[in-house]
Amino acid sequence: MPADLPASSAPARPLAGVLWMLATGLCFVAVTAIVKHLGDAVPPVQSAFLRFALGLVLVLPMLGALARVQIGRREAGLFALRGVVHTGGVICWFFAMTQIPLAEVTAMNYLNPVYVTLGAALFLGERLRARRLLAIAAALAGALVILRPGFREISPGHLAMLGTAVLFAGSYLIAKVLSAEMPASAVVAALSLAVTVGLAPFALAVWVAPSPAELGWLFLLAAFATAGHYTMTLAFAAAPVTVTQPVTFLQLVWAVLLGALVFGEPADGWVILGGGIIMGSVMVLTWREAVARRRPVTPTLPETKV
């Protein structure tokens, strides 16, 4: 793309967008698989801390943007609040990945955009029309299909994933407020710093010295997470969200296959059905935003990853 051509006016390349989003899904499923593979050998919160600490190298160029902005008491409070909320979401997510099957983690992660839409209506004054309400109701029904309360035990991992969705939704709503006042690079850099600092005391409390092999897996974890965010950015630049969003459903397919082939987790039809219902509702929400011709409030699934 020529340097003088704004991204917004660049011609859409649907096939490239689909392929980049396909790569994004594989990267994020790999992140989940590595955390699950490490299990309790490296405490989940320590894995999360190392993922962000290693990732700080990547945001060093953004620190200049953060240093140049004028941060008042209100902005500092929002940065701190987002750091606390996102840190809690990361802890819950990494814990859940070690407790429940890959497919369930992936399927329940589809709830994040739904909670963002609800939060935008409750706290930011955005309107919830009938179609959005129906899509949200369908997504919550999909979550019940996955959890099946009363028919099976709800584990701490399931509760952690529900908490993850709510906390990440809060984080992105705060980001929406901040992004209207500050450069995106400053918002990203502040989050990376805040979450790294927020995770540090929890990680130190349970710290174990990783073996060389475990350290290698942790570096690979950071690499896949970084690659996933990079390919996601390329996908958004190449094609509209309405084109790339359906591809994210394939993450559930990869998670089911990986869980069955590598971790011996049987494929659960109820999880696939519930994930499909949730993903369908997210696609409806995304489509409605595109029809309304405004920037989507609801982030696509990969944007809710750490």
In DSSP notation, 219-265 reads HHHHHHHHHHHHHHHHHHHHS-HHHHGGGGGHHHHHHHHHHHHHS-P
SS3 of 300, please? Answer: coil
> What is the pLDDT at residue 297?
47
CA distance 37 to 259: 11
Cβ neighbours of residue 211 closer than 8 Å, sequence gap 6 or more = none
- For the chain, report the end-to-end CA distance as a whole number of angstroms: 28
CB count within 10 Å of CB 231 equals 21
Look up the pTM and report it: 0.79
What is the residue-averaged pLDDT of the chain?
81
Mean of pLDDT values over 155-175: 91
CA distance 302 to 306: 9
Q: Which residues pair with 16 in a beta bridge?
A: none
Q: What percent of the chain has pLDDT above 90?
A: 18
- Local confidence band at 18 (pLDDT 50, 70, 90 cut-offs): confident
Q: Is pLDDT larger for residue 180 or for residue 196?
A: 196
> What is the pLDDT at residue 241?
65
CA distance 299 to 93: 17
Q: Maximum distance among all alpha carbons in the chain?
A: 59
